[in-house]
Structure formats: structure tokens, C-alpha cells
Amino acid sequence: MKIYWNTLNPRLRALSVFLVAFVAIQIVFFAVDGSIKQIDVLFGIYIGGFVTYFLARWGFFAIRLPIVLPNQEITTYEKIRKNSGKRRHGPSEPAEFIDREEADDELLPDDRVIGVYLNGEAAAYPLAALGVREVSNEEYGETPIVVTWSPVTYSARAFMAKIDNRVLNLNRHTHTLFNSPTMPDESGSIIVQFIGQAVAGDLAGWTLKQIPTLTTTWAAWKEAHPDTEVMSTEGGPESDIFERYYANERNGVHSLNPTDKRLHGKDVVLGLDINGNAKAYSYTALIDQPLLEEDLGKQPIIVLHERSSATAVAFSRTVNGITLNFKGKSKNPQRRSAEATASGEGELPDYEPWLIEDTRTGSTWRAISGECIDGELKGSQLEMLPGMTGFWYAWSRFYPTADLFGAPTQPAE
């Protein structure tokens, strides 16, 4: 019965609720007076309309689409809701990519970017540019990918844009599921940006393969990848227009408080899902413990947090069949905010990469890129894992049973 109700046309659901409310009012008046007057009918219409309107505003009649949440077996029917207010249009011109020197004229060292490194090619997507475009359909070598950014859930995702030998071209969203953009392709299929799962159209049930991304600063990315290309901010805002939203208490366009109260809704986490084993790592906890080694999904991993660039990243610890252990080598200083420097607490220091070393050979590695830059293993590369940044209110909805590193002893208010 519940499945039938959830799949019923929203207009029929609204009409059903209106009729139930109307009939209930008539029954009440008949029980009191033993008759039904014209005023009773009008009052019933008013109450039925009011209840229907209130439930519509709450999203009770929203279309529900079937989705199997990651690592779950049961199909659930979740609301897909249209964006409220006036639709925001991105730049009309295609994105232009520029080199590092040109990007230095557009970006400040502390501007945040989404970095992708694949097939020997590196590209950075400033939040200011991708925040208004939402998606960028690309080719790295001969590999079609799509790079996406959702400011509402603070989720950077890149996916292989190919399913069953069919290349996808994703577009800007008009609806959300759990506040995550649902991106349509040209055939009418709909992909949920947070997890890459198709929930409608002929691709329903497929999940796109995720490609690792890094959410970091421009200074950190260009230091690790000096030959990077950069999506230009030309034609759009020069800075991230969602900065106020990141700092306020609102959990999404359609407010959705987390059911898991271990963290506040807007706390940022780095999520991993390896071989069906999912875990989230609180950015706040990683500040205090910026190097964490453990096994997840029977795979030895390392989770790092470079404080100066506020960057969290995860790698496999296996190199050439050997599992390595690491420790910090250079200083990993606390990040100093622009507000603090403006108040007279000193200048914002120039970026210096955090370096770590493996205890087996003493080789030196970049924490940001996982590249070995000195020692016996020089030239080796740690495999970056597809970590998923996101606000806690969104992650805990898509991964309700996942473990959490950094849960406080007292639940968040």
C-alpha cells in the first residue's frame, strides 16, 4: 500500500487528501448537528484546501523516485523536488580553459578549486566558475568524464561519463533528491550527483564509476600540478557566490536536518566507500589527527588533512605490492584565516606543502598529491581513492549506516 501511494500521481494524492479532509469535516458537523449546512460545506472546502496546501509546501505530494541507497538492498521511494524560486542560469558561453600563468591573474592563492588528475592530465575547476555552471563534460585523453560541483551539499564529484558503451552528456539540474542535484542527460535519464546513481529513464539502476577529485586551494593545486589547466572564471562571478550559504545554518535549499545527530548538519566530512564498506571522516577531527592509517574494505588506507590548505584526501597505502606506513615529515601548521590576519594576528603565510615520509624507506611524499618526490621510491605514486566531500546532513542521508571518525562524545544540538 505504501509503495502504491508513493508511486501514485501527485495530483491524485493531493485530491485524495483534500477529499479525506473535506469528508472528515462533514462527518464532524453531522455528528454535532445531525445535518450538514451550506456553511459546513464551505468550511470543509476551506479546511481541505488548507491541509492540501500545507502538505504541498512541505513536499508531501512531491514525485517519488525509486533509489537503492549505497550498500543497501531495499528500494526506497524518495522525494524529487523542484528548485524553489527563480532558476539561476549559468554563463551562456562554453567554459574556457587557461594555463597556470593566466589563472594567477584570475585567482587568489586561497581560492578553492576542484582538482582532477587523470591519464596524465591535470585540470582545476574554481568553485567560482563551476558553482554557476554545475557540470563540465570533458575528455581526458580518450576518456569521457563529467566534473560536477554541488554547493548545496558541498560535494565535488567526477564520474566516467560512459555506460554500456554510451557516452553521457549531463546538464544543469532543475530538481533535487535529498537536496542533491539530479542531473539529466540528453535521453531523459536522471543522475543523482551525490552518488552517481541513475534514478529515472532508461539508465535507471546504473551507477557511474567515480573518479577521485580534490577540493583544495589554488596555491596547493598548482604546486602539486604545475602543468595544470584551469577553467576560467571569465563570464561569471569572480568569487564563490555561495560563501554565505556555507556559513549559515540552513541545511539545503529544502531544509533537511540530519537524522544522525553526531555532527552538525553543515559539518564537512570526507566520505569513503570501499568494497561496500563506507566511513566518513570529520574535517574537524582530522585537524587534530591529520594522519590516520587503517583498513577499510580490507584495503590499507591513509587519510590525510593538510591544514594550511584545509584539504582532506585518502590514498591506498599499497605501493608495488608492499603496504607502507607513514609519519609526518614537515610541519603541518594550523590554517590561519583571512579574518585573523585582518585583526592584526600576522600575515597570511605563503603556502608550503605538507610532506610525509614512509617508515620503510624514509622516502618523502607530498600529502596533497601522493607523489614521492625524494628517496628510494622517488617517482612512485600513491593511488588516490575517490573520497566524497559533503555536508553531514547529506552524507548521513545517503549513507545512514556508515561509520564515522570524529564523532563527539555528546551529540550535536
Q: In what order do the strands lie in the sheet with 277-282?
A: 388-391, 268-274, 277-282, 403-405
200/51 Cα distance (integer angstroms): 30
| Grid cell in block for residue 205 | 539502476
Torsion of CA 62, 64, 68, 74, to 10 degrees: 110
Which range in 1-15, 198-212, 304-318, 338-352 is most confidently predicted, on average pLDDT? 304-318
Report the chain's mean pLDDT, rounded to a whole number: 87
What residues form DSSP beta bridges with 80?
A: 63, 177
Per-residue pLDDT tens for 172-198?
888 898 999 999 998 889 999 999 999
Name the residue ranges covered by the structural domains of the chain.
Answer: 2-61, 97-231, 257-405
pLDDT for residue 12: 76
Is residue 341 predicted with pLDDT exceeding 60? no
Residue with cell 591544514: 307
The answer to whether the Cα torsion of 207, 213, 280, 256 is positive or negative is negative
Q: Are 125 and 136 in contact (CB under 8 A)?
A: yes
What mean pLDDT is predicted for residues 354-360? 96
pLDDT for residue 18: 77
Helix axes 10-33 and 38-58, enclosed angle (nearest 10): 140
- The 10 Å CB-count burial string (b at 16+, else e) for 360-391 is ebebbbbbbbbbbeeeebeebebebbbbbbbb
87-101, 147-161, 208-222: least confident range: 87-101
- Nearest 5 degrees, angle CA 405-CA 311-CA 265? 50
Residues of the chain with pLDDT > 70, as a percent, come to: 89
pLDDT for residue 87: 58
Q: Residue 55 — pLDDT band, cuts 50, 70, 90?
A: confident
pLDDT for residue 45: 82
What mean pLDDT is predicted for residues 196-225? 94
Q: Residue 101 — pLDDT band, cuts 50, 70, 90?
A: very high
What mean pLDDT is predicted for residues 134-152? 93
98-102, 243-247, 312-316: least confident range: 243-247
Q: Residue 316 — pLDDT band, cuts 50, 70, 90?
A: very high
C-alpha dist (Å) from residue 219 to 74, 215, 265, 338: 44, 12, 29, 15
Nearest CA among 89, 136, 92, 127 for reference residue 106: 127
pLDDT for residue 295: 96
Q: Does domain 257-405 have CATH number 3.30.70.20?
A: no
40/341 Cα distance (integer angstroms): 67
Pairing of strands 210-211, 63-67: unpaired
Q: Which residue has the higher pLDDT, 54 or 360?
A: 360
Q: Which residues contact 130 (CB under 8 A, 6 or more apart)?
A: 114, 136, 147, 148, 149, 231
Is residue 102 predicted with pLDDT exceeding 80? yes
Top-level class of domain 97-231: mainly beta
Asked if the domains 97-231 and 257-405 are classified in one and the same CATH topology, the answer is yes
Helices (H), 336-388: 338-342
Q: What is the DSSP string of 91-110?
A: -SSPPPEE-HHHHHHH--TT
Per-residue pLDDT tens for 57-97?
666 766 778 888 998 888 888 888 887 655 565 565 678 99
pLDDT for residue 58: 65
120-134, 312-326, 337-351, 372-386: least confident range: 337-351
Residues of the chain with pLDDT > 90, as a percent, come to: 56
Nearest CA among 289, 365, 286 for reference residue 324: 365
4-13, 50-59, 234-243, 401-410: least confident range: 4-13
Per-residue pLDDT tens for 233-248?
987 888 888 889 988 8
76-85, 130-139, 228-237, 395-404: least confident range: 76-85
What mean pLDDT is predicted for residues 331-351? 60
Q: Are 307 and 287 in contact (CB under 8 A)?
A: yes
Is residue 347 predicted with pLDDT exceeding 90? no
Q: Residue 411 — pLDDT band, cuts 50, 70, 90?
A: low
